[in-house]
Amino acid sequence: MRWSLALSQRLGRDLFDHAAAAADLGFDGLFVFDHLVPLADPHAPALEAATALGALAATSPLRVGSLVLRATMRAPEVTAAIAKTVAEISPVPPVIGLGAGDRLTKDETTRFGLPFPTLDERIEVLGAAVDAVQAAGVSCWVGGLHPRVREVALRADGWNLWEPDPTRLPDLLGSVARPGSWTVSWGGRALVGAERDDVWLSGDPGRIAERIDSLASAGIDELVIAPLPPTDLAAIELLASVRDR
């Protein structure tokens, strides 16, 4: 199972120090989110996703990707152009994660004067973005748990499940007939050394390792972990120690 990191775009220039640490510690990839402001603090700054993705592609030896670019934020052709540009810059083929947006992102979207279409419209644009990115020759995943999003994911190269209810995971994975080269990734936060009720991957290293083993046994191909606290380099080192147990 591959281990990748979702880095916080609140880091500013420190993003590159965290990316370098991830490479030094042997992680497989780096992912960015697509929020104009952090969900936890709408008044805080955040690096823009496509710009951060290009910067990481130009400076890191690791595979880079997005979890996820919201399809309705850009025309499908623009999303494909971003994907192709990142692929040209990066030393390793990237993976562009795409999503339809959800209720958590509605306020952020409308705050910046962008439309928040109906579910039908968002699913249609998501499918068009998947087709455009694949036509550009770039690998893409679709992120989301909604059944209709899952259907679009089967047209892509993989599916990301962000912090799904662990009791639902077997049913979720059993609900799709996986194509042979299709990647299923689990995304979520991790806090090593302390327990938090809202963070499934939290607690002592042994507990976290046990839960990660259960993900591998369930059929997860790749982890995309957001280390907590997001500004602490030591959090990345602790995750590496869990991986290497």
Q: Where do the domains of the chain lie?
A: 2-243
CA 27/CA 35 separation, integer angstroms: 24
Residue 112 has a pLDDT of: 86
Give the bridge partners for 222, in sequence order.
Answer: 2, 185
Q: Find, among 163, 160, 167, the residue nearest to 185 by Cα.
A: 160
pLDDT over 80 at 178, yes or no: no
Q: Which residues pair with 99 in a beta bridge?
A: 70
pTM of the model: 0.94
What CA–CA distance (Å, rounded) separates 209 from 227? 14
Does a cis peptide bond (omega within 30 degrees of 0) precede residue 68?
A: yes
Superfamily grouping for domain 2-243? Luciferase-like domain (3.20.20.30)
Confidence of residue 13 (pLDDT cuts 50, 70, 90): very high
**pLDDT tens-digit readout, 81-119:** 999 999 999 999 999 999 999 888 888 888 888 889 999
